[in-house]
Amino acid sequence: MVEQGFCKAQVASSNLVRGSQSSIAQLVEQVTVNHPVPGSSPGGGVSKKHIMEIHAFSKPFCYFYVENFYNETELDLIWSELEYLYSNREKIFVSNLKSATYEGEILKDNVGIFMDDFYQNRDYSHILNFNRKLFDIYNVDTWFFKHLNVDKDGTLLSYYENGGYYKPHYDGSVATACTWLFKEPKRFIGGNFSFPEFDIEIELKNNFLICFPGQIKHSVSEVKLNPEDAGYGRWCISQFLNHR
Ligand SMILES: [Fe+2]
- CATH code of the domain covering residue 28: 2.60.120.620
pLDDT for the residue numbered 50: 87
Residue 131 domain-assigned (yes or no): yes
Measured between its terminal Cα atoms, the distance across the chain in Å is: 34
Specify the 3-state DSSP secondary structure of 181: strand
Residue 217 domain-assigned (yes or no): yes
Confidence of residue 205 (pLDDT cuts 50, 70, 90): very high
For residues 40 and 239, the answer to whether their CB atoms sit within 8 Å is: no
Residue-wise pLDDT tens digits, 126-174 = 999 999 999 999 999 999 999 999 999 999 999 999 999 999 999 999 9
Ligand 1 center from residue 108 Cα (angstroms): 10
DSSP-derived letter for residue 7 is E
Q: Which secondary-structure segment (H or E) carries 115?
A: helix 115-118
DSSP-derived letter for residue 223 is P
For the cut 60, the answer to whether the pLDDT of residue 215 exceeds it is yes
Residue-wise pLDDT tens digits, 58-98 = 999 999 999 999 999 999 999 999 999 999 999 999 987 77
More confident residue, 151 or 19: 151
Distance (Å, whole) CA 84 – CA 80: 6
Ligand 1 center from residue 94 Cα (angstroms): 16
Number of domains in the chain: 1
For the cut 90, the answer to whether the pLDDT of residue 193 exceeds it is yes
For the cut 50, the answer to whether the pLDDT of residue 18 exceeds it is no
Residue 2 domain-assigned (yes or no): no
For residues 168 and 190, the answer to whether their CB atoms sit within 8 Å is: no
Residue 222 domain-assigned (yes or no): yes
Residue 163 domain-assigned (yes or no): yes
Ligand 1 center from residue 214 Cα (angstroms): 7
For the cut 50, the answer to whether the pLDDT of residue 54 exceeds it is yes
Q: What is the mean pLDDT of residues 11-40?
A: 36
For the cut 90, the answer to whether the pLDDT of residue 103 exceeds it is no
Confidence of residue 110 (pLDDT cuts 50, 70, 90): confident
**pTM of structure:** 0.82
Residue 58 domain-assigned (yes or no): yes
Ligand 1 center from residue 21 Cα (angstroms): 34
Ligand 1 center from residue 63 Cα (angstroms): 14
Quote the domain boundaries for residue 167: 7-242
Residue 100 domain-assigned (yes or no): yes
pLDDT for the residue numbered 37: 41
